[in-house]
Amino acid sequence: MATKLLLTFAICRLIVTVGLTLEPTELLRLGLTVDPVDVESASVDFGLMTKVEPLAVLRPSSAEDVAQLVKAAYESSHGFTVSARGHGHSINGQAQTGTGVVVQMSGVRSSGKPSVWGDDMYVDVWGGELWIDVLKSCLEYGLAPKSWTDYLYLSVGGTLSNAGISGQAFHHGPQISNVHELDVVTGKGELMTCSKEQNPELFHAVLGGLGQFGIITRARISLEPAPQRVRWIRVLYSNFSAFTKDQEYLISLHGNQKFDYVEGFVIVDEGLINNWRSSFFSPRNPVKISSLGSNNNGGVLYCLEITKNYHESTAETIDQEIEALLKKLNFIPTSVFTTDLPYVDFLDRVHKAELKLRSKGMWEVPHPWLNLFVPKSKIADFDRGVFKGILGNKTSGPILIYPMNKNKWDDKSSVVTPDEDVFYLVAFLRSALDNGEETQSLKYLTNQNRLILKFCDEDGIKVKQYLPHYKTQSEWKEHYGSKWDWFQRMKMKFDPRHILASGQNIFSPTFLSSSKMASW
């Protein structure tokens, strides 16, 4: 009883601060809390590079709860912001706010299980649902979503607000290309259903919209029959041109005569080849970079990672199909490593690495990640200047590199990509460690990110950031380019008071004075 009284008193103070018109009992019913544990949890994210405490946290039990809170913010006399938070995997405080309420979408009280519609081949899921739970529900029907992220402990609303990419994107497009319908709470507190046919402006704006136009409370996601097993293959290259040529060839294939997943990574540090993301390579027979001809290539190796899905009933033909595909590639002949595993184990492979890192105290550390879309025409220049130049022979985490087909992306969505038919994701997924080694420090890695962006700018490599982070609106305008005017119009239409996702630092909330937003 005493705890409830203290909470009511704290919420009364919040009402006075932000001008809420709702009664304290109504806010308590909605799930609003100022409990220090909840506030502390919402003040940090996976990046661990920013800490911003919200005024309160909402744990909704329905989309209506989210709508009621946002409507209260929209109608508030003083004004406050609302930021949706899923699993808290943002890097630079994108889901944080110091001037309002964080809506904790994942782990809500009664979101219910995903609803799988087997005959229609889609699933309806709560916006805060984690992809691992979506997968488990769909597999009960022998189905699965088509496109994934590498890490499944992310929320549906979170990845759809960015794009959602992995090694299937070359074929199926990003996750946002596989959505039929959304329920969205706009910045006016309106709960709207949208699709390509119904409220299409909102639908396209929200997909990849960085949370600027609405909070996704439900997504209807396209499904396909799930395979039972995966043949997982890694091959190595010492020649970058051969590596990219083979990747681009593989993503050009159609029909059944193709791999189902195409990714790659760069190895500049010998330790990574045996330790990155899984125990794929045998610890009894470690691979040596020096033994694979990389010395004439700046000490850099490139790994192509590919998979072929199959069912037990087709296991007899899988060897011939893979052999026919591999014959057309130009990797180092002695570098083929293969394993077979259940489909769900492959999709959830990064979680196993997470558990290992957690046990060593190496997971909850700062993550100065940098994700870039690089045009195909400039990827060789990027290799020369970054992989063989800026990085040196030390890194502090995996470096992904793989191509995607632009025609699998919907230009009507909010996402911006290079203006070429093929572009690469290059992802520097580093962890900063306080172990005395300068090259693993947060300061060193953050500065290295700046050097990479500076090199791209000076060399005319027109990259686009994925999971973008900028400090000024002029930088955001440059990021969006010709889409900026449309993006701004959609903001004024669906979030005119600039209430939503203020942690992205794109628009200034209208209730803040200009002195508080001097950088704008």
Residue positions annotated with a catalytic role: 89, 150, 263
Task: For residue 398, give every residue at least 6 positions away whose Cβ sits within 8 Å of its Cβ, in sequence order, or none.
Answer: 265, 272, 276, 277, 427, 429
Q: DSSP code of 216?
A: E
Compute CA 520 distance to the chain's CA centroid, rounded to the nearest angstrom: 27
Sheet holding 464-466, edge to edge: 337-342, 229-237, 301-310, 261-267, 399-405, 422-428, 370-375, 464-466
Query: What φ, ψ does residue 224 adopt, rounded to 5°?
Result: -145, 165
Instruction: Tell me which DSSP letter residue 429 carries.
Output: -
H/E stretch holding 2 reads: helix 2-18
3-state secondary structure of 152: coil
Q: Is the dihedral of CA 286, 292, 298, 303 positive or negative?
A: negative
Three-state SS annotation for 312-354:
HHHHHHHHHHHHHHHCCCCCCHHHCEEEEEEHHHHHCHHHHHH
End-to-end CA distance of the chain: 46
Q: In terms of DSSP bridges, do strands 399-405 and 422-428 run parallel, antiparallel, or are they unpaired?
A: antiparallel
Residue 227 carries which DSSP code?
A: P
DSSP state of 148: -
Cα separation, 374 vs 264, whole angstroms = 14
Cα–Cα dist 459/120, whole Å: 49
CA dihedral for 16, 19, 23, 29, sign (positive or negative): negative
Positive/negative CA dihedral, 338, 138, 94, 464: positive
Identity of the amino acid at 95? A
Provide the token pair at 424.
């690469």
Q: What six digits make up the tokens of 445?
A: 């890695």
